[in-house]
Amino acid sequence: MSIKKAIFPVAGLGTRFLPATKVIPKEMLPIVDKPIIQYATEEAINAGVDELIFVISESKKSILHHYGDAEVLNQELIEKQKHDLLEIVSDIIPAGIKLKYVEQHKALGLGHAVLCAREQVGKEPFAVILPDDMIDDDEHGCLSQMVKIFNEHNSSIIAVENVNPSDTDKYGIVSTEYLTEHVSRMLDIVEKPDPELAPSTLAVVGRYILTPEIFDLLENLGKGAGGEIQLTDAIKKLLNHQSVHTYQFHGRRYDCGSKLGYIKAKLNYALKHPEVKAGLLEHLQSGEVKNN
Ligand code: G1P
């Protein structure tokens, strides 16, 4: 079975990047020449998703414009015979991909954001991608890897990786039963536990494949950690009804929700970009980059 729909919760305020994000959503910040959100939608499309569901807030309308028609720009590029640029712009959304937008009026948490997309998803398994977590696997993308695991287990699949013990309070943390090198059965999950209370150092990163039963659980959920409606709490409840598997993906994750992670991601993708790679390497090795 393939996963056809992906939710992108992008209603957050992005306060960690102020003032840059006063007008521009953090998901629209560029990594070389593409906004963060486009890496996420490309990963979904590579995994076979053909319906992208954005959960946005009023202030995130520029995301909508990024994926919308650009008639004036297209016309200008045609007139100037800039066919290569025209292709870059039309490649943002390949033919046949459907786009949906749902508004999340209040920032009530990730669980609430996912619930906002219930009607669009319906009764089929779906993906959730948090664009802040960029994952570079040099191949088809983390979600493609997860779709394979989903087809083997026919259950919800949650991407995880080991983090520093002192960082457990930044993530959903799981305890698991070992199945194979990369796949485990989830036993428990807790949102942002203090290091001394964390059941492990295996942290949830921003990729989920979820069965639609999660929606009823989200619907009846109270506020959790941080006073928000937490997806983690609904996954914990799901464990009472279904198996859930965790997947330790191949690839490197960049936390673009933090300044340092964002800069590391920029460097990573720039060092792979044919236009800037050589020049950037030369600059880095020239001794011009000093620790002031
Ligand atoms: C969210 C989830 C958390 C997960 C994290 C991954 O937290 O609630 O369980 O580990 O994403 O990035 P947030 O970063 O939105 O606070």
At residue 84 the predicted structure's pLDDT band, cuts being 50, 70 and 90, is confident
At residue 292 the predicted structure's pLDDT band, cuts being 50, 70 and 90, is low
- The predicted-structure confidence for 4-37, as pLDDT tens digits, reads as follows 999 999 987 778 889 988 888 999 999 999 999 9
Question: Angle at Cα 289 formed by Cα 287 and Cα 292, nearest 5°?
Answer: 115
Give the ligand 1 atom nearest the CA of 133.
12
Predicted local confidence at residue 118, as pLDDT: 97
Distance 51 CA to ligand 1 centre (A): 23
The type of residue at 35 is: P
Q: Per-residue pLDDT averaged across 223-242, rounded?
A: 94
Residue nearest to atom 10 of ligand 1 (CA): 171
Predicted local confidence at residue 58, as pLDDT: 82
| Better-scored residue on pLDDT, 175 or 77 | 175
Asked if CATH classification 3.40.50.10490 holds for the domain at 5-276, the reply, yes or no, is no
Predicted local confidence at residue 52, as pLDDT: 97
- The predicted-structure confidence for 142-163, as pLDDT tens digits, reads as follows 999 999 999 999 999 999 999 9
Predicted local confidence at residue 50, as pLDDT: 96
Mapping DSSP onto H, E and C, the string for 235-247 reads: HHHHCCCCCEEEE
Does pLDDT of 79 surpass 90? no
Assessment of whether the complete model's pTM goes beyond 0.85: yes
Distance 206 CA to ligand 1 centre (A): 7
Give the ligand 1 atom nearest the CA of 132.
12
User: What percent of the chain lies above the pLDDT cut of 90?
Assistant: 75
Does pLDDT of 253 surpass 90? yes
Predicted local confidence at residue 75, as pLDDT: 85
At residue 85 the predicted structure's pLDDT band, cuts being 50, 70 and 90, is confident
Residue nearest to atom 7 of ligand 1 (CA): 171
Helical pair 277-285 and 259-270, crossing angle rounded to 10 deg:
120
User: What percent of the chain lies above the pLDDT cut of 70?
Assistant: 100
Predicted local confidence at residue 226, as pLDDT: 87
- The predicted-structure confidence for 104-117, as pLDDT tens digits, reads as follows 988 899 999 999 99
- The predicted-structure confidence for 193-214, as pLDDT tens digits, reads as follows 999 999 999 999 999 999 999 9
Does pLDDT of 1 surpass 80? no
CB distance 137 to 169 below 8 Å = no
Give the ligand 1 atom nearest the CA of 12.
15
Radius of gyration of the chain (CA): 20
CB distance 234 to 214 below 8 Å = yes
Alpha carbons 290 and 292: distance in angstroms, whole number? 6
Q: What is the mean pLDDT of the chain?
A: 93
* Listed range (65-74, 176-185, 229-238) with the worst mean pLDDT: 65-74
CB distance 139 to 90 below 8 Å = no
Tokens of 150: 């989903």
Question: Best of 13, 36, 135, 170 to mutate for ligand 1, by most ligand atoms within 8 A of CB?
Answer: 170
Distance of CA 108 to the CA centre of its chain: 18
- The predicted-structure confidence for 119-141, as pLDDT tens digits, reads as follows 999 999 999 999 999 999 988 99
Give me the residue spans of the domains in the chain.
5-276
Does pLDDT of 62 surpass 90? no
| Better-scored residue on pLDDT, 233 or 11 | 233
Q: For residue 15, with 0-12 CB atoms within 10 Å meaning exposed, 13-18 middle and 19 or more buried, which class applies?
A: exposed
| Better-scored residue on pLDDT, 235 or 227 | 235
Q: Per-residue pLDDT averaged across 171-179, rounded?
A: 96
